[in-house]
Chains A and B, each alone.
Chain A
Amino acid sequence: MARIGVFICHCGENISATIDVEKVAKLAGKLSGVAYSVDYKYMCSDPGQTLIVDAIKEHKLTGIVVGACSPRMHEGTFRKAAEKAGINPYFCEMANIREHCSWVHPKSDETTRKALDIVRTMVEKVKNNTALFPIKVPITKTALVIGGGIAGIQAALDIANSGHQVIMVEKTPSIGGHMSQLSETFPTLDCSQCILTPRMVEVAQHPNITLHTFATVESVTGFIGNFEVDIRLKAKSVDFEKCTGCGSCWQKCPSKKIPDEFNAGMSFRTAIYTPFPQAVPNKPVIDRANCTWFTKGGKCGVCAKICPTGAIDYNTEDTILSVKVGSIVTATGFDIKHSDFFPEYGYGKHPDIIDGLQFERLASASGPTGGEIRRPSDGKEPETVVFLACAGSRDKAKGIEYCSKICCMYTAKHAMLYKHKNHHGKAHVFYMDIRSAGKSYDEFVRRAIEEDDVNYIRGRVSKIYEKNGKLMVVGVDTLLGAKPVTIEADMVVLATAVVANEDAESVAQKLHISYDKHKFFAEAHPKLKPVETNTAGITLAGACQSAKDIPETVAQASAAAAKTIILFSGSELTREPVVATVNRSAAPVFTTCTGCFLCQEVCPYQAIEREEIRDRAGNLLMNAAKVNAGLCQGCGTCVAMCRNKSIDLQGFSNQQMLSEVMGLLNEPF
């Protein structure tokens, strides 16, 4: 038999000014199931809470309704008070008679009547409440970081420095990502590799970080705190225990004509190679697709012969490493469009029309031209270079309607680098807008214009073609009234769009995280949860979520690390028990669930699983839905979907919601 206590708060004058609180308390005391009803000036204060605790004990109350402010304010406060008094905190509900009543209506009988209605509604609900207990999920305190660029590196270091184990997986032979390909970074123009490589070495040497390069994530199962991940360790063909990184192998490798990915295709590498001199780990792997031994049935073998430690082993196979982790940070990065997205720009038709990453490699001291800006076609220094900003972004008609964010800044940077290296050269930039919103960013762009004499032309380019050995760039200057402008250039650099990696979709599907139509991974809430995904336990860091520059990437990576550290900070993961459950009972009924699994499809968190119910002989009797309480967030969409009401939401159950509606209407309004 329910013994509900009703506590009506005056809230100073906030409620009592328009509502007759004594009357509400008195009438509430007459409601069926209410054993005690009182009013008081400030329920949330210490004496007010003591009043509640004492009343629960003295009158042996089984549940309470506090008629006061919004539950969004003080539900937690009063639930703690209930717990202190010895009853389950979920037997406490709040009747919102302030924000929804006293503050929005004038002083009148009508307002007092409404307050009583609201209290009565919640009394009816509480009578149907059940005891709920926080759900505890065990946690494996190891993190997986997918991706070894600056985002992954930062996240891994932060988590490792907090004392937890990190496993990092990088698909290329070295960590570093695109940042290692940059020459200098804006807005300071400091050398990219100089700031990056110390971090890379720290990752390699950190006792808490296990680094797997030339490896990919094969599959992910499980849920937050309890993921099981299979990592494919691709066959390196080199035993890293024996290899000393001396470099004799790639110096002698006869396959020298493989386009070098690190140099954006502007030079060649060998089949056995390290991607760049500062690679971490600085040991080579064999690109089997282009290695003579593998493609021509055992011919060659020079590297094995020449290796002083006998580290080459052509017979290794891919292996799968299974690991258990509690949290996953996705830092898989981005790519830029390397295509003739605008055929009229001639990318791919002329070697001197290049994209941003290729220009970075030209400008880079470790690049194919030793840091000198030279035309890929004939190696001469270009006298006029034209840079095209927005060469593929912000264009709804072409399918990339977003802004790639970094191009305005790196275009200014490229123009400045060119001018610093070629003092007499002419640099022109065709732009639509200049987006330089970060710290010291606008000053940087102004420096390009004012100090380095870069000519900024506001207008787009319609065509680039070759004439008499020059690249004719035909554009328009809108600030001079759309005056047509043609520049005879020696080299053209296109700021192409930042896009998701080619394998982004398959990575997202393996992780069960959402992605948008451009294959950028989806955050849980665009403003308030920019690093979490809808899959509990998986966070995002860096450009895999959306185009961003290095400072933002590092900040987001640290945020993802913080989320992971928060998860690892308790011994168990405690979650609010407002979750759905599917009924279960004894044989032969087992459950009223018919196994249609329509609920499974609507759950945004993949929290509904299939359970096979078997008899003792192992025969399958039925398939039924089961909710993973560790993943369920308590939205209740499944509950409204279930035709025979086999699934119910604790805290907002069918019984509770119906009794609220009936309690409200079955008395005089």
Chain B
Amino acid sequence: MAEPFEPKIVAFVCNWCTYAGADLAGTSRTKYETNVRIIRFPCTGRIDFMLLIKAFQNGADGIIVSGCHPNDCHYTSGNFHARRRWIVFKSMLDFMGFPTERITFSWVSAAEGKKWAELVNETTDSVRALGPFTEYKNLDFTTFNQMDHEAIAR
């Protein structure tokens, strides 16, 4: 019997705000879904968009990118640069037909433990509803499937 689909969510977060917010959710024992795994960065400005693509390519079904609220960046302006990068990246992905609703961007501060838990739950629910992210994995398999295997076997 096949197990029900549980999405794999990777979260790229900044150390000073969202990571601390997730810590606060932990200290407050706020319960949330288990599907998310956090990767820690010093600042959202450090998050390379290639990492998001790599994550999807290697099995992630959904991604959360989160950092400090504008004006609160520990390094003053990292999140402003990140914001511009995300605006452009998201519109590019939209243009290429990529399902950008699988990526959730947010600002979660170190005091918003509850917001973090809610964010994880919401994202997990919505990605679960979208189903596994097969389109990306099938990019390469489509051409294979279309090949005439019998002809090749002959």
Contacts and interface: CB of A to CB of B under 8 A. Distances in A.
Interface of A: 70-72, 96, 98-100, 103-106, 108, 110-111, 114, 117-118, 121, 524-525, 534, 578, 602, 604-605, 633-637, 639-641, 649, 651-652, 654, 657-658, 660-662, 664-666, 669
Interface stretch (B27-35, B99-107, B143-151): B27-35
Contacts of A98: 26
B47 interface: yes
Given A114-B37, A637-B78, A637-B81, A103 B27 contact: yes
Interface string B57-82: 01110000000000000111110011
Main secondary structure on chain B at its contact with chain A?
A: mixed
B31 A104 contact: yes
A405 to B, nearest CB: 22
Contact of B10 (A103, A651, A658, A664): A664
B131 to A, nearest CB: 16
B45 A658 contact: no
A269 to B, nearest CB: 45
Nearest to B61: A669
14 contacts: A70-B19, A71-B40, A578-B42, A604-B78, A634-B42, A636-B43, A639-B46, A640-B45, A649-B42, A652-B41, A652-B42, A657-B48, A661-B54, A665-B59
B23 A661 contact: no
Given A637-B75, A666-B58, A118 B48 contact: no
Give 3 nearest A-B pairs by CB, closest first: A99-B26, A636-B46, A637-B45
Given A524-B76, A634-B42, 14 more contacts: A99-B25, A103-B26, A104-B25, A105-B32, A117-B37, A602-B77, A637-B82, A640-B45, A640-B49, A640-B81, A640-B82, A640-B85, A661-B39, A662-B54
B43 A635 contact: yes
Nearest to B43: A635
Contact of B34 (A111, A605, A660): A111
A99 B28 CA distance: 9
Nearest to A534: B76
A536 B78 CA distance: 17
B20 interface: yes
A543 B140 CA distance: 64
Contacts of A103: 26-27, 29
B12 to A, nearest CB: 9
A665 B10 contact: yes
Interface of B: 8, 10, 15, 19-20, 22-23, 25-27, 29-32, 34, 37-43, 45-49, 51, 54-55, 58-60, 74-78, 81-82, 85, 117
Contact of B32 (A71, A104, A633, A661): A104
Find the residue from B15, B20, B40, B42 having the highest chain A CB count within 10 A: B40
B107 to A, nearest CB: 16
A105 B76 contact: no
Nearest to B33: A105
B55 A661 contact: yes
B78 A635 contact: yes
A117 B30 CA distance: 21
A114 B48 contact: no
Contact of B45 (A104, A602, A605, A666): A602
Contacts of A669: 8, 37, 59
Contacts of B34: 105, 108, 110-111, 114
Contact of B75 (A71, A105, A633, A641): A633
Contact of B23 (A72, A657, A664, A665): A72
A635 B45 contact: yes
A110 B31 CA distance: 14
Given A602-B81, A665-B59, A104 B117 contact: yes
Contacts of B82: 637, 640
A100 B117 CA distance: 11
Nearest to A635: B75
A98 B28 CA distance: 12
A247 B43 CA distance: 62
Given A105-B34, A114-B37, A636-B42, A99 B27 contact: yes
Contacts of A636: 41-43, 45-46, 78
A604 B76 contact: yes
Nearest to B85: A640
A640 B25 contact: no
Nearest to A651: B42
Contact of B39 (A99, A605, A660): A660
A661 B76 contact: no
Find the residue from A100, A635, A651, A669 having the highest chain B CB count within 10 A: A635
B95 to A, nearest CB: 20
Contacts of B47: 640
B55 A665 contact: yes
Contacts of A649: 42, 46
Contacts of A662: 54, 58
